[in-house]
Structure 1
């Protein structure tokens, strides 16, 4: 009876496991929600991110463009982007080739450094390599801090019209044309097999001794700590010396073989590239945050901001951006929404003052409200030991010219 019950339990567990495997869905993103809310709000403000085209075939070109502003509210405990940073693209595996990348017109083959409070325009050119549906993210890899991820855009890659295998040809400095998809694979396979054979032979020798793991432990207990070394025979020392010598010989031989086969090489370059930053176009509007609160029940961030218009044109607030989430003012149809763009609240921004006239100073209440706060785990902001926020305010003059600048400060939670 007990055996029957155990058998049924085992069968049930097996069926449950199969159901989980068969019914599991695809991963829908790269986990940018897992980053701390304060990190997403106070590090890098990504905007105008555009991926085009959104439907391509293997071998086609994809271009990713956009802008970013490095926050002056950068957390003090976090390694700064002013030291070392590298522009990258986040995709699941080697599904694209990166052909070119640049920031403010400077090629980004190496790392660079970004001073805080400046604008950087980036561009990355990719080539589709493997068919599938991918969430493409621009990424900044900051030394000792990790990756800062922009929101993703879904991209469909279909199979190419040709049945020929994917080719990635480049011309080397000596003038040879090689296919990087297959170049050097023969050597990779050969050296893997050599080291696997070495490892298997070494393990087999000790398995034949029949004194591994539990038997060896029991034998040591029988002999005692003073005589434990007697388990090692002269033959063991000889065999160990042979394997040690063979390992050193293979390593040295590998270096000699590589120098002979690839006589012309260039080491990886580690120097930093200098990028001239762009000043933020403030448009003559002065902003001063008086206070800010986050309403948990209403899922909204409210800001009291003192605004002074020092320009010659009336200005209207059109958008608030924080943690890659865009809150648009529905009364102003200036903000462009790109094809495939996510994390946009089309009517999520309420502004108490419609127009700020030239020379006028007014107290303006901005309320950014939407379920996106909860959906993208921004409510964790209130649990941060340094409860501060930062974001970008976008505004327009009477000619539709866009200006923007960063605001930030302490934020208090409102639980009722």
Structure 2
């Protein structure tokens, strides 16, 4: 044990990690249909708070059969305080986050433009997306909208559970080509040719290996190379050279005639697309309410984010703070009926912290008015979603969106960001379950 473990604590951590891994493998083996979700929890908080914020996300259904379709729609805003250690979204691709290829994506759009190619996205602008997914593998799957940014990786939106029923063997993906030909199932189309060509090249490789392995290899060749008077001419004989030349000619002929046959069978081909689509962002809507963060703290024992902000209403209508969104968590101000009305009953409950958003003064902000309020978002989600690890981030900067509503229900969105200072003691003994403090 001394050879491998320099400290007892290190040994304990290694043993516990190995045991946890073995237990997880055992669980997945015993329950093969189990689907794990919330992989976004492994992403660093700065990545989730200051890249893409998804909102108005809807799933058309929560259960489909194999070959059935689900439509995921919504919007996202690329945060203006983009992390400096990440590449800018010069090349981004709209995808979907699922536990493997359990769904087939048949359509995808950004602002109505087919998103079959990567595109450049602008910071501090909004985009509307739509993806159509087809059930492929039965099970209980977690489905996310997702943006892949070159150099930054996947940026996941909110996830919802989807049940796919039926038999996997019934799955089909029919398409109609530009030439009018109908393919019954794209998933199995052309597999015969794939198997044939792979099998042919594997067979040629095996013949080549067997040709050399049929004779003793190591000792005779070693002696021929090292011993004085060794006969090196027998290492590669004239028969070997003749066989190698014949195999080379046969390979060239196979490639040539194979190309000719394929070109004759499929005269119309489309090259791989290397360009990028151009997608204009949604029309820019000025922020009606300017938000200045005076102070922000994260209460570690209370699992609560507290912000002191100054709000200035530069619009012609009143504005009432109804929601704070960050890292796909929606903190709703229960005192604002317009905000509560936007919550879909089928929206994932784990993304709606029950304590909601507490605002010291929830009265509507009149046109031209400026006031300072305290905002508190207290919930265990800061720990369960691993967002509290933001306190270990070098710049400790939070980011999110504030949603304001006027008396007619019209909504405007403002960015909110600022440094966050962790607080490790709470003299009032406030927690997420006991937000007012006092004895627990």
TM-score (normalizing by structure 1): 0.85
Q: CA deviation at 1:365?
A: 1.6
Shift of 1:367: 1.6
* SS of aligned partner of 1:317: strand
Q: State the 1:127 CA deviation.
A: 2.3
Q: Which moved more, 1:72-81 or 1:176-185?
A: 176-185
The answer to whether the aligner puts 1:73 opposite 2:81 as a matched pair is yes
CA contact (8 A) 1:281 1:405 kept: no
Whole-angstrom CA distance in 1 between matches of 2:264 and 2:120:
38
Query: Do 2:97 and 2:144's aligned partners in 1 also have CA atoms closer than 8 Å?
Result: yes
The whole-number CA distance in structure 1 between the counterparts of 2:386 and 2:136 is: 33
**1:171 matches 2:179:** no
The answer on whether the counterparts of 2:225 and 2:232 sit within 8 Å (CA) in structure 1 is no
Matches within 5 A, 1:120-139: 120-139=127-146
Unpaired stretches in structure 1, ≥5 consecutive residues? 1-12
Determine the C-alpha separation between the residues in 2 that align with 1:349 and 1:222.
81
Question: 1:340–1:361: structure 2 CA closer, same or farther, 3 Å change rule?
Answer: closer
Match of 2:11 in 1: none
Q: Work out the number of aligned pairs and report it.
A: 397
The structure-2 alpha-carbon separation of the partners of 1:33 and 1:207, relative to structure 1 and needing over 3 Å to count, comes to: farther
CA distance in structure 1 between the partners assigned to 2:138 and 2:187 by the alignment: 16
Contact 1:96–1:128 (Cα < 8 Å) also in 2: yes
Indicate which of 42, 46, 51 corresponds to 1:43. Answer: 51
Q: 2:400 aligns with which of 391, 403, 406?
A: 391
Does the Cα contact within 8 Å between 1:330 and 1:346 map onto a contact in 2?
no
Instruction: Report if aligned partners of 2:304, 2:379 keep a CA contact under 8 Å in 1.
Output: yes
SS at match of 2:261: helix
SS in structure 2 of the partner of residue 209 of structure 1: coil
Q: By how many angstroms is 1:364 displaced?
A: 1.5
Q: Name the structure 1 match of 2:267.
A: 263
Q: CA, structure 1 residues 220+380, in 2 after alignment: closer, same or farther (shift >3 Å)?
A: farther
2:105 match: secondary structure: strand
Distance 1:226 1:58, change over 3 A: farther
Partner of 1:211: 217
**How many angstroms does 1:403 deviate by?**
1.5
Deviation at 1:393, TM superposition (A): 0.6
Q: Which residue of 2 aligns with 1:410?
A: 419
| TM-score computed with the length of structure 2 as normaliser | 0.81
Q: Counterparts of 1:229-378 in structure 2 under 5 Å?
A: 232-234=235-237, 239-279=243-283, 281=285, 284-333=288-337, 334-335=339-340, 336-338=342-344, 339-341=346-348, 342-355=350-363, 356-378=365-387
Q: After superposition, give the CA deviation of every residue in 1:246-299 in whole Å (9 maximum; x if it has no partner).
A: 444444444333222211111123332222212454562111112322222222
The 8 Å contact of residues 308 and 360 in structure 1, kept in 2 or not, is answered as yes
Whether the 8 Å contact between 2:109 and 2:115 is mirrored in structure 1 is: yes
Q: Is the 8 A contact 1:117 1:280 kept in 2?
A: no
Cα separation, 1, equivalents of 2:417 and 2:227: 69
Structure 2 unaligned spans of 5+ = 1-18, 426-440
- Seen in structure 2, the aligned counterparts of structure 1 residues 74 and 343 have a Cα distance that, compared at 3 Å, is same
Whether contact under 8 Å (2:37, 2:99) holds in the other structure is no
Q: 1:363 to 1:172 in 2, by over 3 A?
A: same
Give the deviation of 1:239 after TM superposition.
4.8
Q: What's the offset of the Cα at 1:198? A: 2.2
C-alpha distance after superposition, 1:30-61 (max 9, x if no partner): 62112111111110001111111111112222
Hey, what's the Cα distance between the residues in 2 that align with 1:40 and 1:142? 13
The answer to whether residue 218 in structure 2 is matched with residue 223 in structure 1 is no
Cα–Cα, structure 1 residues 275 and 205, in superposed 2: closer, same or farther, change >3 Å? same
Higher mean C-alpha displacement, 330-339 vs 304-313: 330-339
Which has the higher mean CA deviation after the structures are superposed, 148-157 or 230-239? Answer: 230-239
Secondary structure in 1 matching 2:322: strand
What is the aligned partner in structure 2 of residue 10 from structure 1? none
Describe the shift of the 1:95–1:288 C-alpha distance in structure 2 as closer, same or farther (beyond 3 A): same
Counterpart in the other structure of 1:198: 204
Determine if contact 1:137/1:153 at 8 Å carries over to the other structure.
Answer: yes
Report the equivalent of 1:55.
Answer: 63
